[in-house]
Structures are given as C-alpha cells and as structure tokens.
C-alpha cells in the first residue's frame, strides 16, 4: 500500500466519523421507541445550574446508523435532601 493511498483511506474514515458527530440531536419525547445497539457517547454539562440540564446521547442503531438524541438529565444535588 502506498503512502498516498493510506492517507486517503485515513481521511475518508475520519471524515465519515466526524460527519456522524456533526448531526444535530433530536429531542426525546416520552414513549419514543429507541433502537440502541451501541452507545457511542454521552455528553452532559459537568456542573448543573438548576434542577435539570440537557444531555445528548450518541448511539448506533441496529442498522448501523449513528443517531443523536437530547434529553433532560436531573441534577444530582437536586435529588438530595
């Protein structure tokens, strides 16, 4: 394999991965049927400012397609007495 061919393959692979992370997250609605085969990432703010913050779940479905969904995540200190 030549050096240029290796660079081309690496660029195409990285480009497709970055494209999956660039998509916008659809908001979760109660009762949605989620098809989660593999969790890729969970992004949530490190410091909660109120009772709940928005988190984003990036996952791969059973067809291999990368999906993103946003949901409300309760703050941990809001649940304590």
* pTM as predicted: 0.61
Q: Nearest to residue 67, comparing CAs of 37, 30, 44?
A: 37
Instruction: Output the pLDDT for position 54.
Output: 87
Q: Cβ distance 41 to 35 under 8 Å? A: no
Instruction: Output the pLDDT for position 77.
Output: 62
Of 2.60.40, 2.30.140, 1.10.287, 1.10.10, the CATH number of 25-81 is 2.30.140
Alpha carbon of residue 44 to chain centroid: 10
Q: Cβ distance 62 to 20 under 8 Å? A: no
Q: Extract the tokens encoding 78.
A: 């809001």
Task: Considering only residues 66 and 14, tell me which one the structure prediction assigns the higher pLDDT.
Answer: 66
The fraction of the chain above a pLDDT of 90, given in percent, is: 27
Asked whether the predicted pLDDT for residue 53 surpasses 70, the reply is yes
Asked whether the predicted pLDDT for residue 52 surpasses 80, the reply is no
**Would you kindly state where each structural domain of the chain is located, as residue ranges?**
25-81
**pLDDT tens-digit series, residues 33-49:** 999 999 999 988 776 56
Q: Extract the tokens encoding 59.
A: 């996952």
């Amino acid at each position: 394999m030549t050096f240029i061919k290796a660079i081309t393959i690496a660029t195409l692979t990285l480009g497709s991965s970055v494209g999956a992370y660039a998509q916008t997250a659809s908001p979760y609605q109660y009762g949605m049927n989620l098809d989660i085969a593999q969790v890729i990432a969970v992004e949530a703010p490190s410091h909660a400012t109120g009772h709940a913050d928005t988190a984003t779940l990036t996952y791969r479905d059973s067809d291999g397609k990368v999906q993103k969904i946003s949901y409300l995540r309760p703050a941990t200190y809001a649940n304590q007495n």
